[in-house]
DNA sequence: TTTTTACGCTACGGTCTGTAGCGCTACAAA
DNA sequence: TTTGTAGCGCTACAGACCGTAGCGTAAAAA
């Protein structure tokens, strides 16, 4: 006979459980402060205080600030806006406007700055936000190619650089651009995308 | 008669002079560390130490870190590369490659993050770097229009957003791009710029 | 000489990070 | 029930960084 004490199923260790409510509050607070403040200005103290727990409770779950922020980034989700209005041009304008309205410059910027010291953070951000974002736009472009609205020989990755980067350049040059900006960008880029060379009005 | 003591020419005040050598060393060190580290990771202590002066000597010249960094940004100068190879397309590739090789992502990024707290820093950066940078490219484009190589109805500001922003998008997506990248970007954008619709090979 | 200023130094209060240890409580095993 | 383990909140701490204050000393003008 075998002793039941060596049961393969993990025997629950003694002692109190980590409060799942605290888990949730800490992660949600970190997520919010990360979006509001970026990496640098998020403080462990503020997370603990606004989550209503002691600072040490945060450190019991995450070994340091980078670890906490990693977990918070991991909960970021790019809303998969499958935009299929039937008009590629309009889809692109809508997607660019979504970037314009929602993109967290603080977060993106600080993670980029932290890259030499905490490469994992930017890596995660790419995985969760940048790559999905590019994927959505790429899909729209490929959709346009299939339907003959976009020339088939475009360099999709470079078009993504141009389109999505334009937002950063605009912010740098003069702050977050206005609501007319996305359409102006697509107008300017369109001849590089359009399958048929439409004459201007 | 008027008393000569109210002489308009400033009477030199008594006491020791501020060491001009210290002036120079502090500003040069701040400039260098700013480019290497960005705003956040530049510390007053490191500036003082590497300039070989006491920390208080720095504070006697600049009231705080933002003040010192402002002065350092003020010494940034965009090298006015008047590129006139006679070929607009090649000029644009060269200018984009200059951005690719030289652009300080740390500096730009951290200043952008500091904007809500120290708007003056980003302002100065725009004045010294962003605006001149855009000006150079804009001039190249207008030059191309005059010579009939670029369509006259382009939205120059939006083209600048697209061109210069592409660099940021590329960095975000996967790190500083390689030497072939600038040409690929111009290739991708060219149909939106070219006056005559050249058929692809 | 007297006064004013720069310099380097030390010390301080404040914020932030990350660690250690204290009572107390919750929970599982003996 | 007793015993051992672990979470929680709290306080204290070392270390980095910011910005300020005051000291003795040296330099420069009145």
Is A168 found in the same domain as A141? yes
Token pair listed for B139: 């001039």
Q: Where residue B114 sits, what CATH number does that domain have?
A: 1.10.357.10
To probe the interface with A, which of B36, B173, B201 has the most A CB atoms within 10 Å? Answer: B173
Mutation target for B interface from A89, A99, A103, A112: give the one with most B CBs within 10 A.
A112
Say which residue the tokens 């899909």 belong to. Answer: A139
Residue B13 included in any domain: no
Q: Is residue B57 part of a domain?
A: yes
Check whether residue B123 and residue B188 sit in a common domain: yes
Residue A93 · residue A186 · CB < 8 Å: yes
Check whether A103 has a pLDDT greater than 50: yes
pLDDT value for A4: 38
Q: Is pLDDT above 60 for A2?
A: no
Numbered residues of chain B with Cβ closer than 8 Å to any chain A Cβ: 38, 40-41, 105-106, 108-110, 112-113, 126, 130-131, 134, 153-155, 158-174, 184-185, 187-192, 197, 200
Provide mean pLDDT across the span A152-170: 97
Range with the poorest average pLDDT among B55-64, B106-115, B147-156: B106-115
Whole-prediction pTM: 0.88
Q: Are residues B92 and B68 in the same domain?
A: no
Whether residues A164 and B169 touch (CB distance < 8 A) is answered with yes
Residue B14 lies in a domain: no
User: CA torsion, points B144, B147, B149, B155, in degrees to nearest 10?
Assistant: 50
Task: Give the pLDDT of residue B10.
Answer: 55
- Please tell me the predicted confidence (pLDDT) of residue A154: 97
pLDDT at A8: 38
- By C1' distance from the Cα of B55, the closest nucleotide is C8
The whole-chain average pLDDT of chain A stands at 90
CATH code of the domain in which A42 resides = 1.10.10.60
Residues A117 and A177 in one domain: yes
Whether residue B198 lies inside any domain: the answer is no
Listing DSSP states for B46-114 in one string gives HHHHHHTS-HHHHHHH-SSHHHHHHHHHHT----------S-HHHHHHHHHHHHHHH--HHHHHHHHHH
Given a cut of 80, is residue A128 above it in pLDDT?
Answer: yes
Q: Are residues B108 and B64 in the same domain?
A: no
Same domain for A41 and A105, yes or no, is: no
Is A34 within a domain?
yes
Q: Which of A114-118, B21-25, B86-90, B114-118 has the highest mean pLDDT?
A: B21-25
Q: pLDDT tens for residues A9-61?
A: 456 778 889 999 999 999 999 999 999 999 999 999 999 999 999 999 999 99
C5 C1' to B60 CA distance, Å: 11
Give residue A160's pLDDT.
98
What pLDDT score does B152 carry? 96
In total, how many domains does chain A have? Answer: 2
Q: Give the per-residue pLDDT at B4.
A: 37
> Based on the domain organization, do A58 and A107 belong to the same domain?
no
Nearest residue (CA) to C1' of C8: B54
| Average pLDDT score over residue span B86-97 | 94
Tokens 């922020």, residue located: A69
Q: What is the pLDDT of residue B103?
A: 86
| B99 & B181 share domain | yes
A61 and A94 together in one domain: no
In a domain, A5, yes or no: no
Same domain, B137 and B42: no
Confidence band, pLDDT 50/70/90 cuts, at residue B13: confident
- Among B74, B105, B138, give the residue marking a domain's end: B74
Decide: CB of B45 under 7 A of nucleic strand C. no
Average pLDDT over residues B165-192: 96
Percent of chain A beyond pLDDT 70?
90
- Would the pLDDT of B12 be above 90? no
| Range A120-127 average pLDDT | 95
Is the model's pLDDT at A199 over the cut of 70? no
Does residue B55 lie within 7 Å of nucleic acid chain D, judged by its CB?
yes
**Domain range holding B35?**
19-74
- Does residue B36 sit within a domain? yes
pLDDT range class, residue A1, cuts 50, 70, 90? very low
CA angle B35, B162, A92 (to 5 degrees): 130
Domain termination site, one of A49, A74, A99? A74
Residue A86 CB partners (closer than 8 Å, separation 6+): none
Contact A78, A136 (CB under 8 A): yes
Which of B158, B164, B172 minimises the CB distance to A185? B158
d(CA A14, CA B121): 55
Residues 12-71 of A with CB under 7 A from strand C: 12-17, 42-46, 55-56, 59, 63-66
Give the pLDDT confidence score for residue A66 in this predicted structure: 97
Q: At what angle do helices A65-74 and A20-41 cross, to 10 degrees?
A: 100
Evaluate if the CB of B63 falls below 7 Å from strand D.
yes
Query: Does B200 score more than 50 pLDDT?
Result: no
pLDDT at B153: 95
Q: How far is B171 from B181, CA to CA, in rounded Å? A: 11
Are B116 and B171 in a shared domain? yes
Q: Which of A83, A161, A77 is nearest to A127 (CA)?
A: A77
Domain identity same for B65 and B137: no
Provide the pLDDT confidence category of residue B2 given band limits of 50, 70 and 90.
very low
In a domain, B37, yes or no: yes
């Amino acid at each position: 006979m075998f002793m039941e004490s060596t049961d393969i199923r993990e025997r629950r260790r003694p002692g109190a459980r980590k409060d799942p409510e605290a888990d949730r509050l800490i992660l949600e607070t970190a997520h919010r402060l990360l979006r509001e403040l970026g990496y640098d200005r998020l403080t462990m103290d503020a997370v603990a205080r606004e989550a209503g727990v002691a600072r040490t409770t945060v450190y019991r779950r995450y070994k340091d600030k980078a670890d906490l922020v990693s977990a918070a980034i991991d909960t970021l989700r790019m809303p998969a806006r499958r935009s299929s209005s039937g008009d590629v041009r309009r889809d692109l304008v809508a997607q660019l406007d979504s970037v314009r309205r929602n993109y967290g410059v603080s977060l993106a910027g600080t993670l980029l700055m932290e890259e030499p010291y905490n490469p994992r953070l930017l890596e995660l951000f790419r995985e969760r936000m940048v790559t999905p974002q590019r994927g959505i736009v790429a899909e729209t472009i490929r959709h346009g190619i299939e339907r003959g609205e976009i020339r088939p020989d475009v360099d999709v990755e470079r078009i993504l650089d141009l389109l999505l980067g334009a937002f950063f350049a605009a912010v740098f040059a003069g702050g977050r651009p206005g609501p007319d900006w996305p359409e102006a960008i697509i107008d300017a880029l369109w001849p590089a995308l359009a399958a048929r060379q439409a004459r201007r009005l």
